[in-house]
Structure 1
Amino acid sequence: MTEKKRILFISHHGTMSGAPISLLTLMKHFAANRDWKFQVLMRKEGPLRSEFEKLAPTHVYYQHFLDPADMRPEGAKRPPLPEDVRRRKFRQWRHEQRLRLKLRQFKPDLVYSNTTVNGDLLAKLGMKAPTLIHVRELWTTIALYNQVQLNAFKQPDYKYFAVSEFVRNYLKDTFSIAHERIGIVPGSMEPEVFDKKAEDLTVGEMRKELALPEDAVIIGGLGSVDSRKGVDYFVDTALDVLRSEPKGRPVYFVWIGDGGMRQDMLKKVEDAGFSGRVVFPGARKNPYPYLKLFEIGLMTSRDDPFPRSVMEMAAFGAPIICFKGSGGAAEFVLDDAGIVLDDFSAADMADAVRSILANDAAKAAFAIAARRKAREDYETTRIGKSAAILLDEMMASARS
């Protein structure tokens, strides 16, 4: 009887964010369709731990002490450690020794690191197994890495999954990684799970909660309220549209998510005289019902390898407007699921919004294509099947 293949999955977080959710979604597919044995290592604790534990034994690396990635820059002078911190640091050291031994005893046939931030963990673990890194980052994040983390791009025997062709080209151009060492595995979604979560609130309930008129056109954004996600482009686009609002139904803008720029953006909207027309209700434990509101989705990121938010907004039939140079979103949108803009320009995005709102036929065609792509082309069974084939090939080539 052939022994089950063993895979160690490493997640940089257990948060309700794109990369961990994408890994969990893939792992569910693998568990249902491959006779593989898993273990999971989370870099640090998070709410998804319980979900990972349903699939495999799950460990947390930084159990007793801060993750160095969250501490001072490399080389910075540190103050003397108080006694309680010394004790926690010793407990963390002892925990790491035991954990490394446990994972080595697991004897994985493959180490699958979800995101590139785990380069330092790969070095610490020192596993004698083929290693795959699923690259879900671009320059903004990678510029923050220390040298140990960057070494993950310099290992001649590592293989990589990129979430888009844009990311594959970035890896080739920036780190001189050969094309054949990089497979394409984008994010995916489970439509039935997505639809079930979206049933928690009705459209009427959400319009009442957010003080949105029943006849309002809602244009949406989704994600962290920060510069990388381009929330300033979202607000500038909204103000441009509202200053010359199209005739007909009133237009409102809603961004679901939270972050450090939220108050600044609300102040900017207030100063422009459009309070209540650009709404930032904050993060939601379950954001999916709110996506039913969106008639157009704006993907305003400056840097986004393959934004999960694009699939999520498109899944309910929102045409997507995005910037060509930001990452993989343009590969989803193309010329049939919305509008791809050549330049990072709020004025151009506002013109695109007006263009879609002025043409009901084009809006409907975009909506149909966007919904179909999200629910069929990026459905987990399809993406998971192609990923599993690539993993099988990696493990087979390692044995030969």
Structure 2
Amino acid sequence: MKILFITHDTTRTGAPMVLLHFLRWLKEHQSQVEIDVLALRGGNMEEEFQENCSNYYNYSVETKTVSLSIIQRILKKLHLYKQKNKKDVFIASLAKNGYDVIYANTVVAIPIGVSISKASRESKLFAHIHELQVVIRQLLPDFKKFLPEIDAIIVPSEIVKNNLVNSWGVNKENLLVVHAFTEVVKIKPVKQKAKSKQKFVVGASGMVHWRKGFDLFLLVARNIDLRYPDADILFQWVGKLPKNISHIIDEDIRKLNLQESVNFIGEVSNPKTYFNDFDIFLMTSREDPFPLVCIEVGLLGKPIISFEQATGTNEVILKGGGFVVPYLDIEAMANRVMEYYNSANLVEEHGAINIREFSNFIPEEICPKLYAMLIN
């Protein structure tokens, strides 16, 4: 079997991480499968992708326009030279590889996946859609026109499935729910410290972006600071912090007088060391299909608070490992934070539930199911 996996980039973010875990599992457990990877752009995990496939292609490099020589420019003006479209040539060359499956990982990868499958004819096209409504409309507004070319769609949660059915008219029969998963080093959860000796840490993580709700994180901190000025709480966000946004956040923190209680760490090589110090995890995302960070903190025994209608993780949280509050209800979220702050037993109880409920969201459990869908 020969599979071409298409990733929008190779950065250390959710969808590429899930794909990389799957490639590693395939390499170890299904060595007969020939794996090629096409990255539309590179990223900080490019070498890891290269190590786990037979052939690796960087679309932005392969299709880069080369300057014409002086002779070629003269001939072109005389209409005696026709420059080949490098994108068409590259797609045609990939189609000749005879892939059994073309696997477009995220909506951004769908258009080129369709182009290759059309040129190949013999290939089945799978689309793994990790996005919800707003992001799909931003990144692939004409998504509907590609649907007839897709053989099957994989989604990480029921909320993504329902959105595709209700908002985009996708046939339920073509949808397969396979939850997201991650490789996690299980660090023994730290017992709660006495409030007089150590701050209560409310954590958050992810690239600082509107979708992740970094502004809402600040508003929850402000709400608690105003209503409970004596609460000894540190709000800590771990994740990539673009420079243009960092200046805005710095100024917001200063104007809100939260310098002592809010800290945006930025991107770190091993975020789990920070996760382990969190007492609870605050997921302020507006849209998050099934974030890997929730699996990671859940396995570390951290309760999670999130918004209704915002994430597929709610399917797990509602089993008792946290609270789901009304969408964008800052005060309700702050109230739940204070419930945990005032009850170490509640933190421990909900954390134990998350350890149990998230224990199956690992490659060993999910990858066989994902592979089975590709070969059936």
TM interval, shorter chain, is 0.7 to 0.9
Q: Distance in 2 between matches of 1:133 and 1:143?
A: 16
1:47 maps to what in 2? Answer: 44
C-alpha contact 1:22 1:187 (8 A) present in aligned 2:
yes
The equivalent of 1:114 in structure 2 is 105
Q: Contact (CA 8 Å) 1:45, 1:63: kept in 2 or not?
A: no
Q: Report the equivalent of 2:306.
A: 322
Match of 1:70 in 2: none
Provide the C-alpha distance between the structure 1 equivalents of 2:213 and 2:324, rounded to a whole number of angstroms.
Answer: 15
Structure 1 residue 252, shift from structure 2 partner: 0.3
CA distance in 2, matches of 1:388, 1:370: 26
Structure 1 residues 272 and 364 mapped into 2: Cα distance closer, same or farther (>3 Å)?
same
1:139 aligns with 2:109: no
C-alpha contact 2:64 2:86 (8 A) present in aligned 1? no
1:223 — aligned with what?
206
Distance 1:152 1:332, change over 3 A: farther
Matched, 1:165 2:165: no
Partner residue of 2:193?
Answer: none
Q: Does 1:94 align with 2:86?
A: yes
The letter of the residue matching 1:281 is I
What's the offset of the Cα at 1:218? 0.8
- Which residue is equivalent to 2:94? 103
Match of 1:355, as an amino acid? E
- Give the AA of the match of 1:16: R
Q: CA deviation at 1:45?
A: 1.6
Tell me the secondary structure at the aligned position of residue 139 of structure 2.
coil
1:312 aligns with 2:302: no
Counterparts of 1:378 and 1:6, CA distance in 2: 26
Counterpart CA distance in 2 for 1:214 and 1:58 is 51
- Superposition deviation, residue 117 in structure 1: 0.9
* CA distances 1:219-262 after superposition (whole Å, capped 9, x unpaired): 111012121111111111111122233867x2100011213433
2:167 aligned partner: 174
> How far apart in 2 are the matches of 1:353 and 1:297?
9
Is the contact made by 2:290 and 2:313 (CA closer than 8 Å) also made in structure 1?
yes
Q: For the Cα contact (< 8 Å) 1:119–1:150, is it kept in 2? A: no
The answer to whether the 8 A contact 1:61-1:96 is kept is: no
Q: Which amino acid aligns with 2:306?
A: C
Q: 1:145 to 1:95 in 2, by over 3 A?
A: closer
Distance 1:319 1:59, change over 3 A: same
Query: Residue 251 of structure 1 corresponds to which residue in structure 2?
Result: 233
Output the CA distance in 1 between the equivalents of 2:302 and 2:61: 41
Q: Distance in 1 between matches of 2:113 and 2:40?
A: 11
Aligned Cα root-mean-square deviation (Å): 3.0
Change (3 A) 1:50 1:96: farther
Query: Any idea what SS the aligned residue of 2:352 has?
Result: helix
CA distance in 2 between partners of 1:247 and 1:275 (Å): 15
**Unaligned segments of structure 2, at least 5 residues:** 74-81, 191-195
Letter in 2 for 1:109: D
| From 150, 153, 161, the counterpart of 2:147 | 153
Preserved contact between residue 323 and residue 336 of structure 2 (Cα < 8 Å):
yes
Aligned position for 1:59: 57
Q: Where does residue 361 of structure 1 map in the other structure?
A: 345
Amino acid at match of 1:279: N
Kindly state the Cα deviation for residue 92 of structure 1 after the two structures are TM-superposed: 9.6
Greater shift in the superposed pair: 258-267 or 274-283: 258-267
Give the counterpart of 1:17 among 13, 31, 56.
13
Question: Who is 2:222 aligned against?
Answer: 239
Q: Deviations over 1:255-299 (max 9, x none)?
A: 112134333233222212221310012222332221111111011
User: How far, CA to CA, are the matches of 1:288 and 1:305 in structure 2?
Assistant: 21
Give distance in 2, aligned partners of 1:229 and 1:267: 19
Q: 1:149 to 1:49 in 2, by over 3 A?
A: farther
1:29 Cα deviation after fit: 1.4
Aligned length: 355
Q: 1:188 aligns with which of 181, 192, 201?
A: 181
Cα offsets for 1:185-213 (capped at 9, x unmatched):
12112224x76xx9xxx9xxxxxxxxxx9
**Contact kept in structure 2, 1:12 and 1:117, CA below 8 Å:** yes
Counterpart residue identity of residue 86, structure 2 = R
Structure 1 residues 11, 109: closer, same or farther in 2, change over 3 A?
A: same
Counterpart of 2:77? none
TM-score (normalised: structure 2): 0.86
Deviation at 1:342, TM superposition (A): 2.5
Give the CA deviation at 1:182. 0.7
Report the secondary structure of 1:169's partner residue: helix
Displacement, 1:331? 1.1
- Contact 1:322-1:330 at 8 Å conserved across structures: yes
